[in-house]
Amino acid sequence: MSFPSPHVSFERLTDLVEGRVPADEQPNLHGHLAACSRCAGDLAWLKRAVTLMRTDESQDASAPVIARAVRLFQARAEQAAPALNLRERVLAVLRFDSAQRPLALGLRAGQAAARQLLFSAGERDLDVRLTRAGDAWVVSGQILGPEASGEVELRGDASCVLAALNDLSEFALPPIPAGRYALLLHLADVEVEITDLEVGAA
């Protein structure tokens, strides 16, 4: 069961301001407004709003101005659109390092031809080989898992080299000096990063 509100509705106040309340109902309405500060305040606000709307002399912008404003906002939206095309970024986790494996009993340490590192990155694994080439090092490898296309980037303090992945998702970068690098794989659906790749470490 609902009870009527003790206050005058907004619609009724609007009718009063617009002169649509019958004369026989006005005394009761004005009596309530004299006793109720809330409704009287609502009526005063409504009268001010209606007066402002009736005396407003501002003009709508012309059609060419509106069209130009729309074009400006569309241009900004189109410039910002490429930034919304975000790829997932995955940090690779080292799972195996041939330089850290224990020596078999009775064997002496020798210089390995290449250091092998195996990283996991989401649904893919990354096999990385570090091979000495004179005074420099060659970083090569292969992405294992779902088919991948894209490029590999190796960033260091003094150099940055790139190589494209071949049909077997393999890569070989140009020789680089020993040092610490970040290896990034720019693939179609994901970016994989190895943050601290030490090249040339014993």
Q: Round to whole Å and give the CA distance between 190 and 126.
A: 14
Contact, 177 vs 135, CB < 8 A?
A: yes
- Note down pLDDT in tens along the chain; length 202 residues: 343 568 888 899 989 888 899 989 889 889 999 999 999 999 999 899 888 888 888 888 888 888 888 888 887 776 665 554 567 889 999 999 988 866 555 445 555 578 999 999 988 999 999 999 989 999 999 999 888 889 999 998 877 899 999 999 999 999 999 999 999 999 988 899 998 899 986 5
Output DSSP code: residue 176: B
Q: Residue 88: what pLDDT?
A: 85
Contact, 141 vs 130, CB < 8 A?
A: no
In sequence order, the 6+-apart residues with CB closer than 8 A to the CB of 201 are 99, 178
Q: Residue 188: what pLDDT?
A: 84
Coarse DSSP helix, strand, coil percentages of the chain, rounded to the nearest 5 percent? 30, 35, 35
Domains and CATH numbers, the chain: 8-55 (no CATH), 88-100+114-199 (2.60.40.10)
Q: Residue 202: what pLDDT?
A: 54
Rg of the chain over Cα atoms, rounded to whole angstroms, equals 37
- Which helix (H) or strand (E) segment is 58 a member of? none
Q: Residue 5: what pLDDT?
A: 66
Report the predicted TM-score, pTM, of the whole model to 2 decimal places: 0.53
In sequence order, the 6+-apart residues with CB closer than 8 A to the CB of 112 are 98, 99
